[in-house]
Structure 1
């Protein structure tokens, strides 16, 4: 199974994009290995913290700090990486004749979603009014602009926001 996943991720050309962004290595760790590990963590529904707590991080032998440093690295253009994934996915759909038919309805989606969090020591967390729940919750507001092409939704642009409190801070 892992061979199939590595083959699949190879189709997305992460290494090529990172080399164009001059981000092949960071602290002697392969940036594409870190991003691949991040994706695998999300697939299995785990966080960096939980993976490291379970001592599963031997899959990279680098510890948790390299993952966190990669995430906050100012040179890392996450929007460009996300767009690269989306464009490569569309190219792969066309290549394997899985692209939507010309008569398939397509549309753009603008969404504001509340991401509820449970900890109060999270940077930038604030009280957000959740219209679905009808109450304020701790978390962030995710603004998303996406394209629905008949089969999948492809994110184009996103941003996380916090709301100002009653005192305006």
Structure 2
């Protein structure tokens, strides 16, 4: 899951598409009736293309975003289309994830194919992510897995203040990992 702060009070959350309903239900449950929180599901209206690999910097489409640091993001144009680009990926390789309106997806896809990008499927992606030690929520880990068990404790700062699940994680850290 990636969480991008796209404006002072606006965030974009990207997660495994197989878990959208479960994740949205969780967000709605924890946001409650807070009038300051608005959740919009744009998953049916947007498409993400993950452009990954050692030759990614040779693509003309991505010249304007090659300066982005790892995990950096911006709104820009790629192939003449409005997009959100992040320097992230799920293969262990350097690359970019490009999100655009679903109506632009085929045009964007073709612009990358014309530059020599080779399409691959989930099997290839899964092989690369497993080699890189990247876990897939819903497949390798689930809601019963805590960050210590998944070797993701480096993503959680238990000393930064209160958050959902902090008390449970403190207890788990004291007890130790059991699986």
Q: TM-score, normalised by structure 2?
A: 0.23
More helix by share: 1
Q: TM-score, normalised by structure 1?
A: 0.24
More strand by share: 1
